[in-house]
Structure 1
Amino acid sequence: MSRPNGGKATLLYYAYRAISAVLAPFAWYSVARKLRRAHVPVERQHERLGVASQPRPAGQLIWFHAASVGESLSVLSLITRMGERLPQAQFLITSGTPTSAALIAKRLPPRTIHQYPPLDANGPVNRFYHHWRPNAGIFVESELWPQMLVKGRKAGVHLALLNARLSDKSVRGWQRFPDTAQFILGQFDLFLTQNQKTANNLRAMGAVPERVKPGTNLKALAGPLPVDEVLCARMRKSIGDRPVWVASSTHPGEEEVVLQTHRALLKRHPDLLLLLIPRHPDRGQDVQQLIANFGFTCARRSKQEDISPETEVYLADTLGETGTWYALCPLVFLGGSLQDIGGHNPFEPAQAGAAVITGPGFFNFAETFDAMIAAGGAVEVRDAVDLTAAVDKWLGNQSNFEAACTAARSYVNTQQTALDSVIDTLCEELKL
């Protein structure tokens, strides 16, 4: 049965193919260098060229493609539940960063393989499809790689865009080339959007209207972050009855605001401890120097330094332990929001029972934060003065703080009920 793609290939698409062929060697040089720096084995580096490092399992293969850490982890619970629904199915998940690969490796669902995705060029994409021959390809959020999509549909792969989210800038860019947008979007059999705004944008850009369906924010469906109970117990013993707050996923320019806030809070809470979790642990040395410049005493996780009664800041500059820090303290400022970054996933701290403080720059999670703020599970601040007031309010009013934690967790629970509906729609529309 034919599957019309909603448009014809355009000159712009053919120009993209030609340019990608020319640039592919330079792109390969760049990504290979990054993978080498992360100590990724050569065999796995070649996955970016479409050369698989594992055999294709027999039977039905369902492929998920995500950009990096957040998107990758958000689909693991979905794969687990889909695997229970489809006990004969095998799963492939591709993601582009070594960090995401390392975290996924620790949490792989049953019957699931991880690979790096092919570069979006003719040779790598052809080799990828020739080897893996997926029955369905599920792209997460805004991963619109033209050749992967066009060649996938031509190979008979049923394609979906899951948790679809497009920035206003991206929408404006695609609308400049309406015929190409219609052609690329026409490769998908299904769009499951995070919100109505994205659904409206996709239709306006040329997506086949009946293929656009409401979904939910997939990151609400991910399982809680793992907790190292042994480490958690040891940390609790070291902290004792000291008050604690967390600044998580911070970026350059935000640590300064956090440390200014901590300085002000110490005047009212002299034994207060800050758990500072940079978004990128490899910035640990720079952040430690910044802490020293503020005059704080610091213990650093990557150096296995213990918290003492004199420690004012604990620098948690390691990967994969954020769930443990959230378990230690449910009062969380979530970074990426005081700068023009877009914010980070509030479901992770909320699933751990935390109430969340955010800056105004949470545009990547606008619908989530708006609802959490309205429900009382999150608070928006704009600067160090606001952040100081928000943390101080929750430190000084336990009943108010507990109500905020309850509201945040309740919001997450209401979102998680949508998982079965998402699986039903994927199975039906992708013929699984």
Structure 2
Amino acid sequence: MTHSPAPFAAPMAPPPRPPGSALLALWLGTTAALAPFGATILRRRLARGKEDAARWPEKLGRITLPRPEGALIWLHAVSVGEGLSVLPLLRALVARAGTRVLLTCTTVTAMGLMQARVPEGVIVQYLPLDLPGPVTRFLSHWRPDVAVMVESEFWPRLIHATHARGIPLVLANARMSEGSARAWARVPGLARAILGRFTALAAPDAAMAARLVALGADQARLQVMGTLKRAAERLPVDPAALAQVRAGVGGRPVWLAASTHPGEEAVVAEAHRAVRAVSPDALLILAPRHPARAGEIAAQLSTAGLDVALRSRGEAPDAAVYLADTLGEMGLWFDLCPIAFVGGSLLPGIGGHNAYEPALHGSAILHGRHVGNFADLYARLDAAGGAQPVVDAGAMAAVVLRLMQDGAARAALVAAARDVLATEADGVAATSDLILSLLPAV
């Protein structure tokens, strides 16, 4: 299967009537039955500090801002990572005269970050719950001319209702993990029904395009356009926090395990014990993908004989492991640590996380062999000497020690990674052209 990297040159026809799905019908019926409980669900989350105290009614479709005049593009990026990746795309879209953009996100952290960073002309709101009332109020108020979902954000009712109103739907930077693909493959009818409602799908590489086609995406509406992350910016870093942590670390050799998942912390802990056998004052900063797991991870590390300090408690990094159990600080850890193992890659089923962020921050990249989400990128990095694959704790410890002791080798790894990323196809221009081609003619 081949895909042209050229942008769409003209508006595409609306997708044909998508296939029906018993599971989609079940989802629509179930969410209709849950409609009276939307406010209760949000209030309970609010009580646990998981919702925005000032703006949570937006998730019920209670909107206070007016719709701007003229064409409106709605773009949804669920969380911080997706939000940062779309900043260059947002700038490209609002640069076109008369175009306004509505950006929705889901998490409180993403809202705070995006509000401060979006270009002028972008309205930031919370995505409504996937319930009848919130979805209807949202779409009726904003009346978007084009809807853009980033990566793999599939809310069945929202997608169904958007398509039913004749609003063109775009899946931008389409990405689906190995685990998610397996889950969708178990419900092929629902997968085809959801993917069939998209007018166009833009995949970052051929491997991801093939994964989507296998799930039922229409190959005629799917095109490889390069990644939005190629043009992404460095993650935010609080200079004061960075200076404080650096002072706490002092001259200790330090390395990072970023975005780890269950099962990976045990391997990382074994590697760090081996590192400390050679370099007794070495510090591991461990930033799990889900900070809520901090308690279980800390207990696991203690059992492994490693003392732990927790970032969330304000503790100093004066232990064997500093558990970075906070949100929104990954940029700080990449800046601080000259070596970074990128998690989600040691065990099958997750597919790895992206290498753009450590490279942008100048951290040498280590990864496991299960990187199906970014297979093309990691293959190029490994071939160019821009990343180092590791298969187990022993290999990880050996590479970490070598890079700690050899600054020139570390610098060469970082430089090679940046050279590879500089040649990556930048999907921003092609994706923005696609989106703008779907706007109604004035």
Give the alignment's TM-score, normalised by structure 2: 0.84
Q: Note the C-alpha offset of 1:333.
A: 0.9
Partner of 1:381: 390
Greater RCO, CA 8 A, separation 6+: 2
CA contact (8 A) 2:27 2:157 kept: no
8 Å contact kept, 1:262–1:274? yes
- Cα distance in 2 for residues equivalent to 1:261 and 1:52: 51
Deviation at 1:224, TM superposition (A): 0.7
**Distance verdict in 2 for CA 1:34–1:220, change over 3 Å:** farther
Within 5 A, what are the aligned runs for 1:53-92? 53-83=64-94, 85-92=95-102
CA distance in 1 between partners of 2:295 and 2:215 (Å): 45
Q: Which residue of structure 2 aligns with residue 324 of structure 1?
A: 332
Q: 1:149 aligns with which of 159, 164, 176?
A: 159
- The alpha-carbon distance between structure 1 residues 269 and 15, as it changes in their structure 2 partners (threshold 3 A), is closer
The SS at the match of 2:378 is helix
Are residue 300 (structure 1) and residue 283 (structure 2) matched? no
Report the residue type matching 1:172 in the other structure: A
Q: Does 1:281 align with 2:291?
A: yes
Partner of 1:52: 63
Whether 1:337 aligns to 2:345 is yes
**Match runs of 1:26-425 below 5 Å:** 29-30=40-41, 32-41=43-52, 44-83=55-94, 85-166=95-176, 167=178, 168-169=181-182, 172-173=185-186, 176-177=188-189, 184-203=194-213, 207-307=217-317, 311-339=319-347, 340-415=349-424, 417-425=426-434
What are the superposed Cα offsets for residues 334-384 of structure 1, whole Å, 9 maximum, x if unpaired? Answer: 222234433222211111122211223333333332332222222222321
- C-alpha change, 1:251 and 1:429, in structure 2 (3 Å) is same
SS in structure 1 at match of 2:55: helix
* Mapped contact 2:109–2:328 kept (Cα < 8 A): no
Specify whether residues 198 and 271 from structure 1 end up closer, same or farther in structure 2 by C-alpha distance, changes over 3 A only. Answer: closer
- Distance in 1 (CA, whole Å) between partners of 2:293 and 2:182 is 29
**Alpha-carbon distance in 2 for matches of 1:349, 1:248:** 9
CA distance in 1, matches of 2:356, 2:228: 10
Separation in structure 1 between the aligned mates of residue 15 and residue 429 of structure 2, nearest angstrom = 28
Gaps of 5+ in 1: none
Q: Over aligned residue pairs, what C-alpha RMSD do you find?
A: 3.0
- 2: CA distance, partners of 1:299 / 1:397: 28
Distance 1:251 1:171 in 2: 21
The count of aligned residue pairs is: 426
Letter in 2 for 1:369: Y
CA drift at 1:304:
3.1
Structure 2 counterpart SS, 1:248 = strand
* Alignment-mate amino acid for residue 59 of structure 2: R
| Structure 1 counterpart SS, 2:315 | coil
Letter in 2 for 1:82: L
Deviation, structure 1 residue 49: 2.6
CA–CA distance in structure 2, aligned partners of residues 123 and 336 of structure 1:
37
Instruction: Summarize deviations over 1:45-100 as a string: whole Å, max 9, x none.
Output: 333332224333333321112333332332123213322x2253322222333343
1:34 offset after TM fit, Å?
A: 3.1
What do residues 188-222 of structure 1 show as CA deviations (whole Å, max 9, x unaligned)? 22211122244345456654544322112323332
Kept in 2, the 8 Å contact 1:142–1:165? The answer is: yes
- The alpha carbon displacement at 1:24 in A equals 4.0
Contact 2:227–2:425 (CA<8 Å) still a contact in 1? no
Identity %: 39
Higher mean Cα deviation, 219-228 or 205-214?
205-214
* Structure 2 Cα separation of the partners of residues 36 and 341 of structure 1: 31
Which amino acid in 1 is paired with 2:93?
M
Unaligned stretches of 5+ in structure 2? 1-10
Q: Tell me, in whole angstroms, the C-alpha distance in 2 between the residues paired with 1:146 and 1:333.
A: 35
Partners of 1:245 and 1:360 in 2: CA distance:
20
The alpha-carbon deviation at position 265 of structure 1 amounts to 0.8
* Residues in 1 aligned to 2:341 and 2:54: alpha-carbon distance in whole angstroms: 40
* CA distance in 1: counterparts of 2:36 and 2:326, whole angstroms: 33
Give the conservation status (yes or no) of the 8 Å contact 2:18–2:196.
Answer: no
Q: 1:328 to 1:204 in 2, by over 3 A?
A: closer
Deviates more, 1:38-47 or 1:371-380: 38-47
Distance in 2 (CA, whole Å) between partners of 1:283 and 1:15 is 32
Contact 1:70/1:345 (8 A) holds in 2: no
Relative to structure 1, is the Cα distance of residues 423 and 120 closer, same or farther in structure 2, using a 3 angstrom cutoff?
A: same
Which residue of structure 2 aligns with residue 427 of structure 1? Answer: 436
Aligned partners of 1:11, 1:342: CA distance in 2, in Å?
Answer: 28
Residue type of the alignment partner of 1:425: L
Report the 3-state secondary structure (helix = DSSP H, G, I; strand = E; otherwise coil) of the residue aligned with 1:7: coil
Task: State the one-letter code of the partner of 2:61.
Answer: G
